[in-house]
Amino acid sequence: MANTLTGGRPGHRWDGLGVPEITIGTLLERIKTMAKKAESTVSSRSSQSPLSQAGKVWNGAQILHQVLIEEGVEHIFGYTGGAVLPIFDVLYDSPIKFILTRHEQGGAHAADAYARATGRVGVVIATSGPGATNLTTGLATAYMDSSPVVAITGQVRTHLIGNDAFQEADVTGITRPITKHNVLVKDIKDLGHIIKECFHIARTGRPSPVLIDIPVDISSGKIEGPIDTEMQIPGYRPRFKGHLRQIQLAANLINESHKPVLYVGGGVIISQASDLIRQLAIKANIPVTTTLMGLGTFDETHPLALKMLGMHGTAYANYAVQESDLLIAVGARFDDRVTGKLDTFAPHAKVIHIDIDPASISKNVKVDVPVVGDAQQILGELVKLVEPNPRTDWLEQIEQWKKKYPLKYDTQSNTIKPQYVIETLGRLADGDAVITTGVGQHQMWAAQFFNYTTPRQFITSGGLGTMGFGLPAAIGAQIARPDKIVIDIDGDSSFSMTLVELATIAQYKLPIKIALISNTFQGMVRQWQELFYDRRYSQTKMYLPNFAKIAEGFGIKAIVVTDKNQVEDVIAQALKEDGPVLMDFHVEPEENVWPMVAPAKSLHEMELGRLA
Amino acid sequence: MSNINKENKPTKNILGVLVQNQPGVLAHVAGMFAARGFNIDSLVVGRTEDPSLSRMVIVTSGDQATLEQIRKQLGKIVTVVKVRNYSEQECVERDLLLIQVHCPPEKRSDLFELTNVFRGTVVDVGSKSLIIQLTGTEKKIEAFIEVCRPYGILQLSRTGLIAMPRAPHKTGE
Ligand SMILES: Cc1ncc(C[n+]2csc(CCOP(=O)(O)OP(=O)(O)O)c2C)c(N)n1
């Protein structure tokens, strides 16, 4: 069913309480009106919702299911277990489609990627104890990359909580630092409004995972309607609108600047502001560099595109940032992988920082003009206020850097270069595929050598750097975008961590293409050992299985590629295939990712490696 | 551009944090401090005039940037309704002390007198010790503790600071 509520833009965001001094009485009044307002916009249907009918008897699982339907949930990922039996019982004949992953971590990654591919909330269910603890890597991954996931876990009976009961774990305790909010439901009366609140919290403000822990006696317990679904979260007021005065100050700085750079992160994708970034960049001739999470916000084939910055960013992006007199950070957070040594990051630049999360501002660097709010709204105002400016000298300088320091690799080599595989994938998929990755060198090459043109096209674990993300993420992305070619560009070691999800791909006949960059190493760690530990390859050489046979065992077609001259044909053939295909590219084992800013070095001290 | 973490000297800060009166709120707040490596000098939680809300008074220390982060990160916790910086306004601040002091009968009158000077109360008299209760600002409490020290402190317990902003315009000013 179509539901605009779970679309990219939240149905409603609460205004800030802009008044410094208020009493609890007035506060409560405002809370009530806000809750009413929110309720009426968030779900105009709730008045007709069967939950509001008097006399109807519900069990907890049915309430959960009804709210999920009203929230527009169409797909759920996860795994069964004793503490979620009542929930799976209502899912048995539900219109919601369930995707049974083979491990809860896979379910969480899939839900996360589903959210990243669409902007809708991804939902995952797991049982108590081990089911819930298996979710944690997935939740932490989603948390670090601000992805809206609602996790529903079963819990032991309320009277057993705290008794070390069978399959009991303190799940709200364990997940507190990796969720935006979590709740243990202690009374069936609260279930309805808690679930509503959790969806609202997950998708608004800075989106993030939220967890609801439901004891099995609550999901099986009964209660008579009407069910309370009115949200009770007076403390939750994400700020939506940026201050006009701040936006004007930002515009002034931009208009005065000679060498500005737009530094764009994943927040722009979340707020669907890519188009405005393009308008701003083009109107004022501002070059654009993106973080790993921001890839796709700005068409990388555009002349103003600098591609990615940071540790493995392009030389021209890093030089541009270091030379700039103004850095316009939008939906980015000055992560250490981006800034290198902080004291010498963009040494000549003033900083404008646009972000929905006030805590992101002035966390790492001093900001001259902070603007807190939704990037789309703020950029909308900002675009009107900036003046056109040719900035000929600056763009000329950048053009020279681009000519002098392009991304390069040895195209003459006889072995298969991983960069060549990715470049070819990009060329043949016409730049129009959804890419997921594991973590490591292949992830960086996927960021460097594939030209991203649209938002939500590149799905990767940026903040946490979770190996094993690629394959289950491809599942979530393919379920969310059945119309798209989804390619998991994966490392042999990353892939090994979650390859059991091949079974899920086979079961649901998902036409995912897997491009394994098999270098027989945990390549990224090996690169650091090569550069900083005297080539002492401690525990990074992999003993690998025959991945093709494994895939075939799961009923998935596989092709092993050992010859450079086959690469193009194999990819072309795989992309035409209706079903899933695993391509196992046996690449140059000791290739390195360049450029590289060594740890604790400044961006301009980056090593160009063999490119120079 | 400058690194935010390289500036300013550490200062003390008192925060008034209005929270929803729900299980897990304290864990959220304490967990956030622990996870981000912020200091808590003291933390007091109690009910308010509204049964659905509690108030925490948290005394923290750090440089300006850290204090700013603490306030913002507190504000992000869903069950936190409002964060106020009491250090930015004039407040009534109180700490409560219970102190058991070694006190043979011959020293009693000395200690009674001292207690009177500080406007404390003797709440228990044993054969060799007294328990004295004292409320006041942290400074006053600390001064009293120092005064008691020579007698021999057997036990000491403090509530930690609670605070309340004064009305904006005092009469007579
Ligand atoms: C779950 C997890 N464990 C360990 C690491 C540390 N780590 C980062 S990259 C890497 C090697 C990845 O190897 P592979 O997936 O084969 O990719 P490659 O670098 O060879 O392309 C490791 C071990 C991690 N990021 N995630």
Q: Where residue A291 sits, what CATH number does that domain have?
A: 3.40.50.1220
Predicted pLDDT of residue A612: 40
**Residue at which a domain ends, from B69, B89, B109:** B89
Q: Which domain range does residue A197 map to?
A: 50-224
Q: What average pLDDT score do residues A206-235 get?
A: 96
Nearest-Cα distance to chain B for A194, in Å, is 12
Task: Please compute, for residue A66, the number of CA atoms within 13 A of its CA located in the half-sphere on the CB side.
Answer: 25
Q: Same structural domain for residues A191 and A266? A: no
pTM, to two decimals: 0.91
Task: Give B65's contacts in chain A (Cβ within 8 Å).
Answer: 362
Q: Answer whether A604 touches B (CB < 8 Å).
A: no
pLDDT score recorded for residue A587: 98
Per-residue confidence (pLDDT) for residue A5, from 0 to 100? 33
Q: Identify whether residues A263 and A215 lie together within a single domain.
A: no
pLDDT exceeds cutoff 90 at A573: yes
> What is the distance in A from the centroid of ligand 1 to the CA of A182?
30
Ligand 1 probe mutation, A522, A590, A592, most atoms within 8 A of CB:
A522
pLDDT, mean of residues A256-267: 98
Beta bridge partners of A264: A290, A330
User: Residue A410: inside a domain, yes or no?
Assistant: no
Contacts of A42 by beta carbon, 8 Å cutoff, 6+ apart: A5, A11, A12, A196, A200, A231
pLDDT at A392: 97
Q: What is the spatial distance between Cα B39 and Cα A388, in angstroms, rounded to a whole number?
A: 48
Record: contact B27-A236, CB cut-off 8 A: no
Q: Are residue A443 and residue A564 in the same domain, yes or no?
A: yes
- A516 within ligand 1 shell (Cβ under 6 A): no
CATH of the domain at B18: 3.30.70.260
pLDDT at A1 over 90: no
Q: Does B48 sit within 8 Å of A235, measured CB to CB?
A: no
How far apart CA A443 and CA A490 sit, in angstroms, is 7
- DSSP code per residue over A141-185: HHHHTT--EEEEEEE--GGGTTS--TT---HHHHHGGGSSEEEE-
Kindly state whether residue A208 falls inside one of the protein's structural domains: yes
Asked whether residue A38 falls in the same domain as residue A58, the answer is: no
**Is A610 domain-assigned?**
no
Interface of A with B in 198-217 (CB under 8 A): 201
Asked whether residue A575 falls in the same domain as residue A460, the answer is yes
- Taking the centre of ligand 1 as the mean of its atom positions, its distance from the CA of residue A316, in whole angstroms, is 27
d(CA B96, CA A321) in angstroms, rounded, equals 54
Which residues, 6+ apart, have CB-to-CB distance to A144 below 8 Å? Answer: A461, A462, A463, A464
Q: Do A430 and A530 belong together in one domain?
A: yes
In this predicted structure, the answer to whether residue A19 has a pLDDT above a threshold of 90 is no
Number of domains in chain B: 2
One domain, residues A384 and A425: no
In a domain, residue B3? The reply is no
- Asked whether residue B16 falls in the same domain as residue B85, the answer is yes
Residue A607 lies in a domain: no
Q: Are residues B69 and B125 in the same domain?
A: no
- Residue span of the structural domain in which B103 resides: 92-164
Cα–Cα distance, A449 to A426 (Å, whole number): 8
Q: How many domains does chain A have?
A: 4
The answer to whether residue B141 is domain-embedded is yes
Please give the structure tokens belonging to residue A528.
């650091």
A420-440 per-position pLDDT tens digit: 999 999 999 977 899 999 999
User: What pLDDT, in 10s, does the model give residues A149-184?
Assistant: 999 999 999 999 999 999 999 999 999 999 999 999
- Which member of B4, B5, B80 has the closest CB to residue A235? B80
Residue A21 predicted with pLDDT over 70: no
Q: Same structural domain for residues B77 and B98? A: no
Angstroms from A348 CA to nearest CA on chain B: 7
ipTM of the complex: 0.86
Q: Label residue A62 by pLDDT band (50, 70, 90).
A: very high
pLDDT score for A41: 47
Closest residue of chain A to B85, computed from CA coordinates: A20
Mean pLDDT computed over B119-123: 97
- Same domain (yes/no): B73, B51: yes
| pLDDT tens for each residue of A199-212 | 999 999 999 999 99
Considering the domain boundaries, does residue B6 fall inside one? no
CA distance B122 to B129: 11
pLDDT band for position B24 (50/70/90)? confident
Q: How many CB pairs below 8 Å do chains A and B form together?
A: 78
